[in-house]
Each structure stands twice: as structure tokens, then as C-alpha cells.
Amino acid sequence: MKERTGMPYGMICKTLQLPLASFNRWRCRIQGNVVLINRPGPKKVEPFGPSVLDTEIQLLDHGVKRSAGTTALYRRYCLSVSRLELGWMVERVRQDLEADRRKQMRRIEWLTPGAVWAMDFTEYDLGMTGKIGLENCNGVLAPI
């Protein structure tokens, strides 16, 4: 990169609200053919089996917002996977399990077709199509 003969770099950086030190660091990296931005932290050196880690994540005690045992799992795999990546993996599994749980809550299993033993008034929101109201009427599910 050739030196500019026009406006000084300090003035350009001040206009762009960019620290001059950061600009100089990036400029030196470009001149030295070095990667501009590296991921922070130590590099992970130990190989690991993703399927084994995925199985261990599945076995954690997952709550709605947190999973118990994540810290101990990270301590075992800290040389293979970053804390952030492990957090993303655990969160993905937790969200999948929570979605399955919610899906199961919406399912009704009929012992006798059309009959309900006890049910309070329930309202299901179908989005743009509106709402459906269901109510227990003498043991028979009747739309309102």
C-alpha cells in the first residue's frame, strides 16, 4: 500500500471515528499479508468425536432456559471446543427438546372419540385466521 499524499491518516480516522492505532494495526497486517481478524483465545488442539459430544449434550438435564451440567461438560472438552460453540450446541438441543415438549402438550389422545372427561374453556390462537374456542359440554367437546 503506497503512502497517501493527500489528507493525513489521523484526520481521516478522526472523521470516521476510527482509532488511528486500529487503522495502523490493520494497515500493517495488510502490508504483511497477515489475516486481518483472528478469533480470540487459545486454539483448540485436541480432536474429538462430535457424535459423542452430541450424545452427552442430549443427556444433560435441560430446563426451559438453562441446562444443568454444561460447565462440567465444557471442562471435559475445553481443549476441543470453545465455550461459545458449546453454548450454541447446548442451546440448539434445549430449544429442540422444548419444542417437542410443547408439541406433546398440544396433542390430545382420545380414549373414546369425541368424549372429554374434564376440560376447562380453552382458546387456541390460529394467527391470521382467528381464534377457536373449545368448551366442555356434558362430556362432549363442542366448538363455540
Q: Return the pLDDT at 144.
A: 47
Does any domain span residue 116?
Answer: yes
User: Would the pLDDT of 61 be above 50?
Assistant: yes
**In the chain, % of residues over pLDDT 90:** 25
For the CA atoms of the chain, what is the radius of gyration?
29
The CA distance from 143 to 121, in Å, is: 10
Q: Identify whether residues 115 and 128 lie together within a single domain.
A: yes
Q: Identify whether residues 56 and 30 lie together within a single domain.
A: no
Question: H helices within the chain, ranges in order?
Answer: 9-16, 20-31, 50-58, 70-77, 83-105
Asked if 1 and 30 count as a contact pair (C-beta separation under 8 A), the reply is yes
Q: Give the residue numbers spanning the domain of 59.
A: 50-105
Contacts (Cβ under 8 Å, ≥6 apart) of 135? 119, 121, 122, 142, 144
The larger pLDDT score, comparing residue 134 to residue 108, is at 108
Q: Identify whether residues 54 and 80 lie together within a single domain.
A: yes
Q: Identify whether residues 57 and 99 lie together within a single domain.
A: yes
Mean pLDDT of all residues in 37-46: 74
Domain count, the chain: 3
User: Would the pLDDT of 138 be above 50?
Assistant: no
User: Would the pLDDT of 113 be above 50?
Assistant: yes
Asked if 121 and 111 count as a contact pair (C-beta separation under 8 A), the reply is no
Does any domain span residue 44?
Answer: no
